[in-house]
Amino acid sequence: MQFLKRFDESKAKELMDEVRERVEDILNQIRLEGWDALTRICESLDGLAPSKIKPDEIQEAWQKLSTEMKEALKVAEKNIRSFHRAQREILKDFTCDIDEEIKAGMRFIPVKSAAVYVPGGRYPLPSTVLMGVIPAQEAGVERIAVLTPPGREGRPNSVTLAAMGMLGIREAWAIGGAQAIAAVAFGAGDIKQADIVVGPGNAYVTEAKRQVFGIVGIDGLAGPSEVMIVADSNADPKFLAADMVAQLEHDPSARAMLLTTDESIAKRAIGEVYKLLDNIRTSSVASVAWENGGAVAVGTLEEISRMANEVAPEHLELAVEKPESVLELFTCYGAAFLGNYSPVPFGDYIAGTNHILPTGRSAKFQGGLWVGTFLRPLQHLCASKKAALNLARHGARIADAEGLAAHSLSMRMRGLY
Ligand SMILES: NC(=O)c1ccc[n+]([C@@H]2O[C@H](COP(=O)([O-])OP(=O)(O)OC[C@H]3O[C@@H](n4cnc5c(N)ncnc54)[C@H](O)[C@@H]3O)[C@@H](O)[C@H]2O)c1
Ligand SMILES: [Zn+2]
């Protein structure tokens, strides 16, 4: 691989240590002092006390939304719901015969209570309301609480509220950051503890989810955005540049990597990135992200796929001829976008796939948010009296080897009668 531009990794570790300590402190305060600590932290970070968003306010935001925006959100809802409903359908309860006398099975039962974090620090993200809430609804979760920062005007963005209204959300809180995650992970004031906390966020939010995992469930680690674009001579440098800047504008710590088999495409795409950064409204964020987290390299498709499977990017875009067959080379990514006409933003907003996806190499061990995130696969077993004899004979030997006498007894008793 020949790099034309590399990441600047120098500050990354220091920053992560700082975030880890800061978040640990926030979580401890809220765990020990509840609502009082939550209030103190919200006021100091976002300038406002935590507050409940009334159901009327949510419904009113939906009523007041323009017809065009309503239509856009409806199209997104329809597509996202249809993809996630199809996921629910593949998770069927089943029982199988291990042999004639032993049956085993699984049931998929939803968690009772889920909290969905919707980012809103730098930009309001009404799209994340849809991405977090619809899969929970399709899974059959009873209580869905949404948490989102209050925003500069003191209330969450009106489109974010309208999206909640469209989906019939009744519980929402204007609280952001690690403190929002702590509030639903431990419970605080009137905020009840949730069974699972899902949703993307900045480094603080993501680190908070990592630290509360085990006390509550989490969907995964969906931190600052990343894209890896794989391009051959078929690609359009203007498309490539727009797709890179589309990731970079999310956060100064976002990343965009272009790997191409064609050096001239790489050079032209870099030129287009600088042109865009000169003009685009979000260039103050995107330019910092490009300096720190922009990378461009040229190599063979084999070299590229090897690197991609190590980096495990959140988004993988395949701007190549025959993307469907090239996809087979790639095994670690949150979501893949095939061909020149499936840019990542279609997945961000409207096409149906989820945008809450693993970042920071976590696609090596997890996928993105889906209906299964909210469903617990519960296993059960039923052996007949006849099966017990054989199971006890062999099972007791293993228990005896482990020295677990009551285990052995429990099985042998069943085998005797
Ligand atoms: N991976 C994914 O699936 C995915 C999807 C969408 C968005 N994202 C990411 O979500 C992130 C959204 O970030 P955001 O910052 O705009 O909104 P956010 O809502 O995640 O965070 C805002 C909150 O961070 C807290 N905060 C800010 N500075 C802090 C500090 N110094 N110490 C402690 N807390 C602090 C504040 O309380 C604020 O309310 C972006 O990084 C974006 O890339 C990821
Ligand atoms: Zn995006």
Closest atom, ligand 1, to C-alpha of 45: 37
- Residues 36, 89 contacting (CB under 8 angstroms): no
Of 138, 249, 314, 317, which is the active-site residue? 314
Of 84, 315, 317, 355, which is the active-site residue? 315
Answer yes or no: is pLDDT of 417 > 70: no
Cα R_g (the chain), whole angstroms = 25
Which residue type, as a one-letter code, is found at position 87? Q
pLDDT at 151: 85
Query: pLDDT tens, 128-140?
Result: 999 999 999 999 9
Rounded to the nearest angstrom, the distance between the alpha carbon of 344 and the centre of ligand 2 is 7
Q: What confidence tier does 363 reach under pLDDT thresholds 50, 70, 90? A: very high
Q: What confidence tier does 82 reach under pLDDT thresholds 50, 70, 90? A: very high
Answer yes or no: is pLDDT of 81 > 60: yes
Mean pLDDT of 366-394: 96
Q: Is 407 annotated as a binding residue?
A: yes
Q: What confidence tier does 167 reach under pLDDT thresholds 50, 70, 90? A: very high
Mean pLDDT of 66-82: 98
Query: pLDDT tens, 386-399?
Result: 999 999 999 999 99
80, two tokens: 């996202």
Question: What does the alpha-carbon distance between residue 374 and residue 110 come to, in Å, rounded to a whole number?
Answer: 5
Among the listed residues 265, 267, 415, the one whose alpha carbon sits nearest the alpha carbon of residue 340: 265
pLDDT at 98: 96
Per domain, the residue ranges of the chain are 19-220+371-375, 224-364, 385-416
Among the listed residues 356, 368, 348, the one whose alpha carbon sits nearest the alpha carbon of residue 72: 348
Q: What confidence tier does 189 reach under pLDDT thresholds 50, 70, 90? A: very high
Q: Is 137 annotated as a binding residue?
A: no
Residue with tokens 């989102």: 148
Closest atom, ligand 1, to C-alpha of 222: 1
Helix (H, G, I), strand (E, B) or coil at 126: helix
Write the residue with the smallest CA distance to atom 36 of ligand 1.
Answer: 177
Kindly identify the ligand whose nearest atom is closest to the C-alpha of 250. 1
pLDDT at 13: 75
Answer yes or no: is pLDDT of 91 > 80: yes
388, two tokens: 């017990």
Residue with tokens 């949404």: 146
- Residues 317, 341 contacting (CB under 8 angstroms): no
Q: Is 93 exposed, middle or buried (0-12, 13-18, 19+ CB in 10 A)?
A: exposed
First to last CA, the chain: 69
Among the listed residues 270, 272, 261, the one whose alpha carbon sits nearest the alpha carbon of residue 295: 270
Question: What are the strands of the beta sheet with 255-260, ordered from one edge?
Answer: 2-5, 294-298, 255-260, 226-231, 315-319, 335-338
pLDDT at 305: 98
Answer yes or no: is pLDDT of 14 > 80: no
Percent pLDDT > 90 in the chain is 95
Cβ-Cβ contacts under 8 Å for 394 (sequence gap 6 or more): none
pLDDT at 281: 97
- Residues 226, 143 contacting (CB under 8 angstroms): no
Number of H helices, E strands in the chain: 16, 15
Percent pLDDT > 70 in the chain is 100
Q: Is 341 annotated as a binding residue?
A: no
pLDDT at 152: 78
The CATH code that applies to domain 224-364 is: 3.40.50.1980
Among the listed residues 223, 177, 196, 206, the one whose alpha carbon sits nearest the alpha carbon of residue 44: 177
- Residues 234, 256 contacting (CB under 8 angstroms): no
Closest atom, ligand 1, to C-alpha of 247: 43
Ligand 1 in contact with 46 (CB < 6 A)? yes
Query: pLDDT tens, 291-341?
Result: 999 999 999 999 999 999 999 999 999 999 999 999 999 999 999 999 999
Q: Is domain 19-220+371-375 classified as CATH 3.40.50.1980?
A: yes
Mean pLDDT of 347-371: 97
157, two tokens: 């963005």
Ligand 1 in contact with 205 (CB < 6 A)? yes
Neighbours of 136 (CB within 10 A): 27
Q: What ipTM does the predicted assembly reach?
A: 0.98
Helix (H, G, I), strand (E, B) or coil at 302: helix
Ligand 1 in contact with 349 (CB < 6 A)? no
- Residues 198, 116 contacting (CB under 8 angstroms): yes
358, two tokens: 């693993």
Give the mean pLDDT of the chain. Answer: 96
Helix (H, G, I), strand (E, B) or coil at 403: coil
H/E stretch holding 316 reads strand 315-319
Ligand 1 in contact with 224 (CB < 6 A)? yes
Neighbours of 404 (CB within 10 A): 13
DSSP at 34: T
Question: What does the alpha-carbon distance between residue 69 and residue 76 come to, in Å, rounded to a whole number?
Answer: 11
Establish whether 314 is a catalytic residue: yes
Establish whether 315 is a catalytic residue: yes
Q: What confidence tier does 153 reach under pLDDT thresholds 50, 70, 90? A: confident
Q: Is 225 annotated as a binding residue?
A: yes
Q: What confidence tier does 215 reach under pLDDT thresholds 50, 70, 90? A: very high
Quick check: do 19-220+371-375 and 224-364 share a fold? yes
